Amino acid sequence: MTGTVLGNRYELLEKVGVGGMAVVYKAMDRLLNRNVAVKLLRSEFQGNEEFIRRFNIESQAAASLSHPNIVSIYDVGQSEGRQYIVMEYIEGKTLKEYIAEKKGNIYWKEATDIAMQICSALEHAHSKHIIHRDIKPQNIMINTENVIKVTDFGIARAASGGTMTMEAMGSAHYLSPEQARGGYTDQRSDIYSFGVLLYELYTGKLPFDGETTVAVAMQHMQLEPVHPSILREDLPKSIECIILKAMSKEQRLRYESAGLMLNDIKRAYTDPDSLVEIEDEEDKFGTKKITPIVNITMPTDNSGKTVVRRNEEDRIKKKKSNKKDVVAVVAAVITCIVVAIIMGVIVANVLSSRGVVEPVTFHMPNVQGLSRNQMTESLKSLREEGFEIEEVYEYNSNVIKGQVIDQVPKMGDIEEGVKIVITISNGKAKINIDDYTGAEAEEAIDQLEKMDLIVKTSQEMSDEIEEGKVIRHLPSAGHVLETGDSIRLFVSSGPNMFQLDSYVGSEYSEAKIELEAQGIEVSRSDEYSSSVPAGVVIRQNPAPSAEMKKGDKVELIVSLGVEMVSVPNLMDYTLDAATDALKNNKLKIGSATEISSGKAKGLIVKQSIAPDTKVSVNTVVNVWVSKGNETTGAVDTGADVQNVQSDGITSDTGL
């Protein structure tokens, strides 16, 4: 069903629960753009009139309720023959899960606050003549703001309608005795189930348990539960009385209404030593054999008067005799008690006369959870009796400021002279936030958690802060937090790494601008190149695709173009000397042609490129070498010289 859209509006996102007759989905209300809960009748009950009727009862019952502690109903509908209810979506957990997490260690004040919210919801439902009939912690939600929401009116029924049922409905561990035996149910049935819920809430344990549903139901009808104070010694007596009164096996002995029960719960919250009246306490939990009721018609005479037979007279006399015996026994017991008291007084006087004095005891009330003013008032009589009362203050994130956290001694009888120590909450501790910028994240987290702060972290890349260290935090240094507040650390995941692009063939000026924009330092080296134009990058170091970060360096080798050199004057050089001179100037000797000349044989008399001419390196220079005058030794000014000049080669003016 996930992904299905009901009523062209509610998109089912995920299944969050399965009940006896419905499946609950988290859904998105496309119209109002909010999360909702959709309870969809299970497919196997599609077409089943009885389950459709129950489903409709739930929607009608719940829709008539409007209370902050009851889940809200937004819409009802039908899709492909299956009924659905659209409800408020609760982000949180069930009370059953919460009790399991706490393992029976829920502070009684917190438990009482939860109890008041549930009872307030029941009071509202009952005022609308709606009985829940399945009160259990699985049907109680606690949202993220610790607000209670009562859910699942799946077997609710209008109180004004027929309430006699032959089948026990609801969950066995929380059934009222009348539900277990299929009897008459009313709002007091909810109160019994609520009493069982409170028993579990305060003690962490169920009052009755067994291997089968029937075994548990029988215990509800016949057995007496262990008193909650035996399982939880610090439980105020008033709370225990409320639970036991709510769990009376006879409906007439329970609270008449949730409103009356709520009043007692509120009073116990502010005054845990208050008294809660329980009627007929001694046989409240008595085991009783349930027998059918038989109407007996007594015989009458002609005048209409009842005729009492002889055996009936004997029975009545015997009954009166039994009553007299009971009175005699009670009188004897009272006499024994009076005698015991008198004897006790006599013994006490004798002991006192012999110098033996019984210690004087005083009653220490339970002041945990009270405000300081309430505590002071409760201990007023002890203070007047001379008891030393010391108040100790400590920070506590779970107890509001000015409320009593602990007391020594605990509630009960105490002897004269005992020192009383009362621990009072200072509320949440105030914490001045230091500057953790640049600190090792693990060390900062450890320090902050020791101060009872909730530390959250986020990873960020940083070119300045080393990996694993704090870049910044919110709130920043100087702010004041309280224990339980949150602080977020932004932790460096190291520098922002990227791959180096290739800048070979790019103009140096453009490459430099782009690299510096990425935080890279650029250095330049120049080289002559016969193939790369001047100002263009020949190569780079590191090579392209290298991992880089801000602050790294890149060397760009830039072309100076073709290298130019000056041609040396080779006149009068020997061929070897001319070769060396050209090589030193990065030039090469070319052809060497012998010609007649007035110069001495072996000396250069001409060169192909005039001295001081700028040429590229490795340019070839041709030379002409004198072979002397072969005939007369005179200077030959004939055809050979003219041919050289005609070739456009600069000649020595001495030829």
The DSSP secondary-structure symbol of 211 reads: S
Asked if the model's pLDDT at residue 544 lies above 60, the reply is: yes
Asked if the model's pLDDT at residue 512 lies above 90, the reply is: yes
Question: Which domains are present in the chain?
Answer: 5-88 (3.30.200.20), 95-151+158-283 (1.10.510.10), 361-425 (3.30.10.20), 430-492 (3.30.10.20), 498-559 (3.30.10.20), 564-646 (3.30.10.20)
Mean pLDDT of 344-353: 46
Asked if the model's pLDDT at residue 295 lies above 80, the reply is: no
Q: Indicate left, alpha or beta for 641 from its phi (over 0: left) and psi (-120 to 50: alpha).
A: alpha
Are 408 and 420 in contact, with CB atoms under 8 Å apart?
yes
Integer angstrom CA distances of residue 386 from 10, 368, 383, 493: 69, 21, 5, 65
- The pLDDT mean for the chain works out to 81
Asked if the model's pLDDT at residue 437 lies above 70, the reply is: yes
29, 75, 113, 134: the catalytic one is 134
**Percent of the chain at pLDDT exceeding 70:** 80
The pLDDT assigned to 460 comes to 87
Mean pLDDT of 318-322: 51
Mean pLDDT of 385-414: 88
Is this structure's pTM higher than 0.75? no
Mean pLDDT of 236-260: 94
Asked if the model's pLDDT at residue 539 lies above 50, the reply is: yes
Which of 223-237, 248-262, 313-327 shows the lowest mean pLDDT across its residues? 313-327
Tokens of 373: 């003013």
Q: pLDDT-based confidence at 550, cuts 50/70/90? A: confident
Alpha carbons 401 and 421: distance in angstroms, whole number: 17
Tokens of 75: 């819409």
Per-range mean pLDDT, top range of 37-41, 238-242, 644-648: 238-242
Secondary structure (3-state) at 114: helix
Integer angstrom CA distances of residue 503 from 377, 499, 511, 524: 85, 12, 6, 13
Integer angstrom CA distances of residue 120 from 127, 209, 274: 11, 28, 20
Of 330 and 256, which is predicted with more confidence?
Answer: 256
Q: For 583-628, how does the pLDDT look when each residue is reduced to its tens digit (9 = 90+)?
A: 999 999 999 999 998 899 999 999 999 999 999 999 999 999 999 8
Q: pLDDT-based confidence at 456, cuts 50/70/90? A: very high
Asked if the model's pLDDT at residue 303 lies above 70, the reply is: no
Which stretches of 510-550 are assigned E, i.e. beta strand? 521-527, 537-541, 547-548
Q: Decide if 134 is catalytic.
A: yes
Are 263 and 277 in contact, with CB atoms under 8 Å apart?
no
